[in-house]
Structure 1
Amino acid sequence: MQKIEASSPAAQSADLIDANLGQLKRLFPELITEGANGIAVNIDVLKALVGDKTTTDNDEKYGLNWHGKRRARQLALSPSTGTLRPCPDESVDWDATQNLMIEGDNLEVLKLLQKSYAGKVKLIYIDPPYNTGKDFVYPDNFQDNIKNYLELTGQLAGGQKISSNTDASGRFHTDWLNMMYPRLKIARNLLKDDGAIVISIDDAELQNLRRLCDEIFGEENFAGTVLWKKKTNGNNMGVIPPVHDYIVCYGRSLQENTLLGIPISKEYLDSEYSNPDDDIRGPWTTSDLSANHEGPYFGVVNPKTGETHFPAAGRYWVFNEQDVLSRIKEGRIIFGKSGNAKPVQKKFLSERPSMRRKVESWWDSHGYNEDGTAEIGELLATKVFNHTKPKKLLQHVVNMATKGDDLVMDFFAGSGTTGHAVYAQNEADDSMRRFILVQLPEPLDPTNSEQKSASDFCDLIGKRRTIAELTKERLRRGALKIKATSTKKKADFGFRSFKLESSNIRAWNPKPTDLGQAVIEYQDHVLEGRTESDILYELLLKLGLDLCVPIEVRKVAGKDLHAVGGGVLMACLAPAIAGAEVDALAAGIVAWRKELAPAGDTTCVFLDSAFADDVAKTNLAAILEQHGIQNVRSL
C-alpha cells in the first residue's frame, strides 16, 4: 500500500483554481491565454461571450502577440558588450580555412557578426529547440547578457544552469517566442537579398513560427514548407503518429534563385532523354500536349495517317491551331515514337531552362533521425546525441539553396550536422561553400542519465564537458572521414574556433565615491590576460572585417605589426611604445604598406594606453599622415 506523505498532492485539498480553469478551457478554449505570470483569462473575450458590449476593438489587429514581445524587440536592438576570442589550438587549418565554429550564446554572437557579415549569408539553416515542455537554456531577461552567459555556462564562479520552459510554467509558447524573436530578427540582416532561411520545426510551434516569420521576413517572402519524414514508425503515439517534421522556408527578398532546387543527376537525364531518330537538336523526351486548364479545343490531324485527335475529356490543347501546325512541320510535335499515337511534344535537353528541379516533400530517401543518431555513434560514441538531423537531409538543404562559395550559417549548431553536410556537399559537387556555426557551450551533467554518455566521451577525449566540444569534435572527425577518400585538388576541411567573451577593453564604470582611482585604473584599459590577437579580432568585428581575412605579422621596431587584408588595416597592439621607438615604427609601417600596395586607404590602429605620453602619439600620427596614411586611430 502506498504511503501518503503530508506534502504529497494526494494529502492536499483540491486546487479549485485549476479546476475552474480546466472547466473554462473545456467550454471556451479561446478564453485561456498566457500572461506575465503564467495562465491567464482574456477578460475582453469573456465579456464578448456574455454579450457585454463595453469592450472595444481599438487593440484588435491581425498579427501575433504575446507577453514579452516588446522586450524581445528591444533585445534585438540592444548592442552586445562582448567579443569573440580566437582559439587557434582548438581549430583545424587555422591559416587556410574560411569556416567558423563559434562557441557562445547565439543572440550575442549574431549581434557581434552584424558588421562583418551583414548581407553576406546565402543560407541560414536552424534546428531550434522544439517546444516539448522540457527546459531549454536561452534566458534573455538579464541586464548583462555576457555575464549571464558566462555564469550560465559555468565560466564564472557560482554559475548555475538557468532554464524555464515547461508546461507547468504556464508560459509554454511565450518563452519559446521570446527566445526565437530577437534571434530571427537579427539573423535577417545577415542574409543576402537572394538568401534563404530554412527552419526545422514540429507541430507544437509550426503555426507560431509561420506567423513570426511572416512578421519578420514578410508574408510575401514565404517560399513554402517541405514535409520531411523523420522516422518510419510512429509507435501509435497520439491520434496521428508524429512521423514527420516541417522544414519552413523564407527568403530575405524572395527571388527565382532564392531556392535553386535540387540538381538533376546525369543518371536521371540519361534515363529520360534519348535521340532515337538522330534529331540534330540532340536528345529529347516527350510531354503531354494537353492540360486541364481551359484553352483551345480542336482536332489535330496526323499528316501521315489522316487520323484526327482531340484532347481527352476535360482537357484542352496548350497551343492554338496555327502553332500546332507549325510545330508539326518543325518536328516538335510528333504522334508518339511509332507515328500512330496521340500527339505529344518533343522536349529537348539542350533547351531545358534549368538543370535543377523544384523542391517538394521529402518523404522517402532523405534520411531519418535514426540515421543521424547512427552517424554520431560511428563518428563519436553511441548515444552522445539522440534524434539529430541526418547529414543526408542537411546536404539536400545545402544543395537546394547554395552553390559555389556561398556562405551557410547555423546558429543552433547542435551536433554540427550542418558543417558536416557542407563538407560533404562541397566534395560531391566540387564547390567551396563556407560555413559559420554557433553553439552554446551548455554544460553536460555526468549524473544525468541522458547526458552521461556525452559527458564520458568528453572525458575520454580530454575536452570540457560541453555540447560545443562535441560539435567541434564531430567536425574534426567528419572532415577526416571525407578527406580520406577525397579526390578534390582544392578543399577546405578546416574551421577557425572562436569563443564568446566579455570585451577585451575594460568598460568605463566608475564608482561616484572614488572617481580619481577609477581614472588611474582605466589608464590600462585592456583586461588582464588578453593577448594582442584577442584585441585584433575584436578590432576586426568593430570595423566590419571578415574573421577569416588574411593576416600577416612582421616584427617592426621590436613590435608585432599586423597587416590585415593586404594592408587595408595595419595594427600595432603592443602594450608599450616608447617615444624613442616612434620613428622606427613609423618607417617600418610606411615601408611595408608600400610593399603591400593596398588598393584603397589604410587604417592604422594602436592602443591608446601604449604611448608614454601624448607627444609620442601625436608624432607617430603626424609621420604616418605625411606618407599618405590619413586614418590613424587609437583603441
Structure 2
Amino acid sequence: MDYTTVPQEINNITEDNLKLLARLFPSVVKDGQVDFETLKEELGQFEEADKEKYELTWAGKQDAKKRAQEDVYNRTLKYIEADSKNKETTENLYIEGDNLEVLKLLRQNYYGAIKMIYIDPPYNTGNDFVYNDNFTMGVKESDISEGTRDDEGTPLQKNQKSTNRFHANWLNMMYPRLKVAKDLLADDGAIFISIGQDEVQNVILLCNQIFNEHNQLGVCSRLMKTGGNKGRFFSPNIDYVIVYCKDINQVGDFKGELDEELVKKLYNKVETEGTRKGQKYRPFGLYQSSLDARPNQRYFIECPDGSFVIPPGKTIPPKLQDGCKVLPDSNDGCWRWSDGRYAEEKEKGNIIFIESPNGVLIDQNGNKSKWNVYTKIWLDDRQEDGQTPTNFISKYENRHSAKELTELGIPFDFAKPTGLVTYLYSLMEKGTHDIVLDFFSGSATAAHAVMQLNAEDCGNRKFIMVQVAEEVEDNSEAYKLLSDLKKPTNICEIGKERIRRAGEKIKQEIESSNAQLKIGEEPKKVPDIGFKVFRTADTNIKWNLYDALGQLDTNAINHTPDLADFTMGFTDIDVVYEVMLRQKDVPLSSTLETLTDIGNRTYLYGSAYLVCLDTNITEELIDKLAALDPLPIKFIFRDSAFKDDINLKDETFRRLKNLIERNSGLMKKTYTVEFI
C-alpha cells in the first residue's frame, strides 16, 4: 500500500500558478515549464521582445517578487492559551508576528476566504518602520547575526527620508504582503488600504500590478481633521482609502447610507394606515418634465373628485377611464411609470393626490388641473437599497478614534476610528458570517469594528488581527499602561487589551438594554467578543527524520520516541495546529477536542480531522476510530508509531478500512490517511 505523509512545505505557490495556467492555456505549460512565447500568442501579444512598457519599477523589485513566492520553512503558529479569551467558543484570531510570515502560514487555511481586508500600513512619512524580510533560516538568532534584526530580535528598521532607497524600501515591504494577501481575498471580497500622500501614487500603481487596474473599485479621500497649519503650501487634512478587488465581475455594487440631513429634510411624512402604518415616506411627482415620451406611460389618472389628469401634451386617450393609455407623440409628457406599474402601486396605496394652484397637469378637457399626482418613496426601502457612495469620506475624522480610545482607557496615537471600518464594510454586499482581516492591526480598530457590527445586527462575523510585536516607546502612556498590567510592552498587548475592553463594553451595553425590554421585545444576543491568540514560532516537528536520528542515541529514541519526532519544549496541541496549517480550507479557529476515551494523545480538529499522536497503535484504538460518527475526513498518525514495520502498517489500515466499510453499511464513506 502507498502512504501519504504530511508535507513539510505549507505553500508551493509556483506549482499552484502553473496548474492554473495549464487549466486556462494547456499549450503553454510543457514538461512543467512555461513557454512564454506561446503564452504571448495566446494573449494576442506579438510585440518586439525588448519593447519598453509602462509599469512601476524600483530597486529590489525582483527580490520582492521572489519573497512573495517563497514558502516559509520550519515556522509555525503557536497557540497562546493564557492570552486568549473565551477560547472554547470564539472564532476570532489575534496573531503576533511578522505579517508576511503569518500570511504565508495562513494561506492554506484561508485561501479565497476573506471577505474584507482592511489595512492601515506605515504612511512612509520618514519616521515609519518597515520590515526586513528574511525567513529562509527561520531562527531569530541567525537573523540577528546577519544584521536583519536588532539585538532584541525585532525585524524592523526605520525608513528615513534621507535613505537613498526611501520609496524602494517601502515598496519592497508592501509588494510581497499584498501579493500573498490577494490569495486570501474572496472572489467577491475587497481590500481597503488607508494611505497618506507620500505613497498614494505608488500604492495605486502597485495594486494595479497585483490586482489588475480593472479591479480598482475606487480612490477615496478621507477627511482626517479640520483646520491645522502644517506644511508650506497646503495643510495636509486628508488621507486616502484605496480600494481593489480580486474579480470585479464577482463584486456587487457598493451601496452607502442615505445622508442623515437629507433624510430629515425629505422624509417628513408618516403613513397613518395600512400595512406601512408609522413608516416615513416622501412624496415624489409621478410626472417629471425631463422624461422622454415612451409607450405605455401616457394615460389618464382619476382624481379624488372624479376628474381625470394627464401630463401636458396634445394626444388624449380614447376613453375617459383610469389607466386608459394612448401612444404619445414626441412632444407629449409621460408619467414615470407604465400603466401596469401604476395599477400595482395604486392597489398598494402608494399614490397620493395633492391640490396645488401651481399644478402642471391637464384635465380631460386640456385645461390646467388643480391636482398633482405623487408616489410614495418609502424611507425603509431607500435605506435598504442605499445609494452609491461618493469618493469623499468626511464623517470619520481621527478625533473620533481618540475619543473611542480615551473611553476605553487605551493610549494609542493615529488609530483609525471604528466608524471608518464599519462604513467601508457596509458598502459591500455583506453576509453575517464574513471574515475581516487586518495584517497591520495596530490598536485593533478592525476587531472593535467587527464586534460592534455583530452587536448591531446579531451577525457572526469573525476577525483575524495580525501585528508584529513592536515595542512601544519608553515612558509613553502605552508603556505605563502595559507596565501596570504587568504585560510585555509592545503594540500587540495594546491591541489585545483594546479588544478585551471594547468587548466587555459592548457586552455591558447589550445586557443593560436587555434588562429594560418591554413585553414582547426580543433580547439581543451578546456577540463573540473573544479571541484565540497565536504567535509565530519555530517548528515543533523534526521533518527530516535522518537528521534528527543523527543527533540522538538509539536507546534514548526507544525510551522516548518524542525525541525523534518533535523538538524540545513541544506540546501535542502545538503539533496539531502545525499539522492543520497544511490543510486546505480549515479555519484556525476550529474547535480542538481531546478524545481521551479513544487514546491518550488523540485529537479531533474541526470535527473532521483526527490527529493521533499515540506511540502505540492498538487494535482497540483502531476499532474506536472506525466507530466514530461522523467519520473524520482525514486520519493523521505518527509514522514512528509503526516502528518501520510496513506489514504492521498495512495490517492496521486494512483493519481500519474493513471496519469503516462494515460500520457504514450501504453508505460509502471516504477518508484519507496521512503520516508525520
TM-score (norm 2): 0.72
**Paired AA for residue 138 in structure 1:** Y
Whether the 8 Å CA contact 2:287–2:336 is kept in 1: the answer is: no
CA 1:546/1:236 → structure 2, altered by over 3 Å: closer, same or farther? closer
Q: Distance in 2 between matches of 1:467 and 1:340?
A: 66
Kindly tell me: are residues 151 and 274 of structure 1, through their superposed partners in 2, closer, same or farther at Cα, counting changes over 3 Å? farther
- Over residues 64-102 of structure 1, what are the superposed CA-to-partner deviations in whole Å (9 max), with x where a residue is unaligned? 111211111111111112211111211111110111111
Q: CA deviation at 1:380?
A: 3.4
Residue of structure 2 equivalent to 1:26: none
Is 2:657 the counterpart of 1:622? no
The Cα of 1:507 is off from its aligned counterpart by 5.0
User: Distance between the aligned counterparts of 2:472 and 2:272, measured in 1?
Assistant: 67
| Alignment correspondent of 2:246 | 252
Equivalent of residue 282 in structure 2, options 285, 289, 292: 285
1:256, 1:273 → 2: CA distance?
38
The answer for the alignment partner of 1:85 in structure 2 is 78
On the 8 A contact 1:582/1:616 being kept in 2, the answer is no
Equivalent residue number for residue 665 of structure 2 = none
Aligned residue number for residue 358 of structure 2: 340
Cα gap change, 1:543/1:279 in structure 2, threshold over 3 Å: closer, same or farther?
closer
Is 2:595 the partner of 1:554? yes
- Are 2:149 and 2:156, in contact at CA under 8 Å, matched by a contact in 1? no
Shift of 1:257: 4.9
Most deviating of 533-542 and 145-154: 145-154
The structure 2 residue matched to 1:388, chosen from 415, 418, 422, is 415
**Correspondence for 1:406:** 434
Per-residue CA deviation, residues 11-67 of structure 1 (Å, 9 max, x unaligned), is: xxxxxxxxxxxxxxxxxxxxxxxxxxxxxxxxxxxxxxxxxxxxx994521121112
Match of 2:446 in 1: 418
Q: Displacement of 1:160 after TM fit?
A: 5.2
CA distance in 2, matches of 1:108, 1:388: 24
The amino acid that maps onto 1:368 is E
Once residues 465 and 158 of structure 1 are traced to their aligned partners in structure 2, the CA distance between those partners, rounded to angstroms, is: 13
Contact kept in structure 1, 2:220 and 2:392, CA below 8 Å: yes
- C-alpha deviation, 1:379, in angstroms: 2.0
Partner of 2:37: none
Distance in 1 (CA, whole Å) between partners of 2:432 and 2:67 is: 35
Could you say which residue in structure 1 is the equivalent of 2:610? 570
In structure 2, the residue matched to 1:232 is 226
Q: What letter matches 2:605 in structure 1?
A: V
Do residues 211 (structure 1) and 239 (structure 2) align?
A: no
| More moved, 219-228 vs 607-616 | 607-616
Distance change (3 Å), C-alpha of 1:128 and 1:290 = farther
Matched, 1:492 2:539: no
Alignment of 1:190-201 (within 5 A): 190-201=184-195
Report the CA distance between 1:410 and its aligned residue.
Answer: 0.5
What letter corresponds to residue 600 of structure 2 in structure 1? K
Note the C-alpha offset of 1:187.
Answer: 0.9
Which residue does the alignment assign to 2:91? 98
Shift in Å at residue 634 of structure 1? Answer: 1.4
Amino acid at match of 1:129: P
Whole-Å separation in 2 of the counterparts to 1:335 and 1:463: 69
**Could you report, residue by residue, the CA deviation over 1:207-264 in whole angstroms, capped at 9, with x for unpaired residues?**
1111111111121111112221111222243312111111111122125754643355
Q: Secondary structure at the match of 2:56?
A: coil
Change (3 A) 1:278 1:533: closer
Residues 302 and 308 of structure 1 are in contact (CA less than 8 Å); yes or no, is this contact kept in structure 2? no
Deviation at 1:279, TM superposition (A): 9.5
Partners of 2:286 and 2:375 within 8 A in 1: no
| Residue 504, structure 1, aligned to residue 540, structure 2 | yes
1:63 aligns with 2:84: no
Contact 2:257/2:383, CA 8 A, preserved across alignment: no
SS in 2 for 1:529: coil
Asked whether the 8 Å contact 1:222–1:250 carries over to 2, the reply is: yes
Counterpart amino acid of residue 387 in structure 2 = R
Query: What is the SS of the residue equivalent to 1:262?
Result: coil
Residue of structure 2 in register with 1:609 after alignment: 640
Distance 2:126 2:63 in 1: 23
Aligned to 1:374: 403
Q: Could you tell me which residue of structure 2 aligns to residue 3 of structure 1?
A: none
Q: Does 2:615 correspond to 1:597?
A: no
RMSD, aligned CA: 4.1
How much has 1:192 moved relative to structure 2? 1.4
Q: What amino acid does structure 2 have at the position aligned with 1:527?
A: T
**Cα distance, 1:166 vs. partner?**
1.3
User: Counterparts of 1:229 and 1:565 in 2: how far apart (Å)?
Assistant: 44
> Counterparts of 2:648 and 2:374 in 1: how far apart (Å)?
81
**Do residues 481 (structure 1) and 505 (structure 2) align?**
yes
Paired letter, 1:177: L
Change (3 A) 1:399 1:151: farther
Q: Residue 537 in 1 paired to residue 577 in 2?
A: yes
Q: 1:184 Cα shift?
A: 0.9
How many corresponding residue pairs?
A: 555
Residues 163-207 of structure 1 show CA distances to partners (whole Å, capped at 9, x for unaligned) of 142111111111111111111111111111110111111111111
Q: CA deviation at 1:475?
A: 0.6
Task: Give me the TM-score of the superposition, normalised by structure 1.
Answer: 0.76
- Give the Cα–Cα distance (whole angstroms) in 2 for the partners of residues 408 and 515 of structure 1: 43
1:535-589 CA-partner distances (Å, limit 9, x unpaired): 10111111121112223212146512212232x2111124x32xxx512221222
Shift of the 78–417 alpha-carbon distance from structure 1 to 2, 3 Å rule, reads same
- Partners of 2:336 and 2:431 lie apart in 1 by 39
Matched residue of 2:509: which SS?
Answer: coil
The verdict on how the C-alpha distance between 1:482 and 1:528 changes in structure 2, with shifts beyond 3 A counting, is: same
Aligned to 1:181: 175
Superposed CA deviations along residues 422-460 of structure 1, whole A, max 9, x for unmatched, are 1111112221111111011113352xx6xx322222211
Partner AA of 2:460 in structure 1: M
Query: What runs of 5+ residues in structure 2 fail to find an aligned partner?
Result: 1-47, 314-328, 361-371, 515-523, 661-669
Q: Which amino acid aligns with 2:639?
A: D
Q: 1:319 to 1:112 in 2, by over 3 A?
A: farther
Q: Does 2:93 correspond to 1:107?
A: no
Residue 536 to residue 299, structure 1, CA distance change in 2 (3 Å): closer
Conserved 8 A contact 1:305-1:340: no
Contact kept? 1:198, 1:249, Cα under 8 Å: yes
Amino acid aligned to 1:474: R
Displacement of 1:400 in angstroms is 2.4
Q: What amino acid sits opposite 2:423 in the alignment?
A: H
Q: For residues 462 and 339 of structure 1, what CA distance do their matches in structure 2 show? A: 76
C-alpha distance in structure 2 between counterparts of 1:464 and 1:262, whole Å: 41
1:524 equivalenced with 2:564 (yes/no): yes
Distance 2:150 2:126 in 1: 28
Give the Cα separation in 1 of the matches to 2:673 and 2:331.
Answer: 69
**2:461 paired residue number:** 433
**SS of residue matched to 2:427:** helix
Higher mean alpha-carbon deviation, 128-137 vs 191-200, is at 128-137
CA shift in 2, pair 1:59/1:292, >3 Å: farther
Distance between the aligned counterparts of 2:552 and 2:140, measured in 1? 21
> Could you tell me whether the CA contact under 8 Å between 1:286 and 1:344 is conserved in 2?
no
One-letter code aligned to 1:117 = Y
User: How far apart are residue 115 of structure 1 and its match?
Assistant: 1.0
Q: SS at the partner of 1:485?
A: helix
Q: Determine the C-alpha separation between the residues in 1 that align with 2:204 and 2:241.
A: 11
Q: In structure 2, what residue type is equivalent to 1:603?
A: K
**1:315-357: CA deviation from partner (whole Å, max 9, x where unpaired):** xx99974556956976789887637335786354387594323
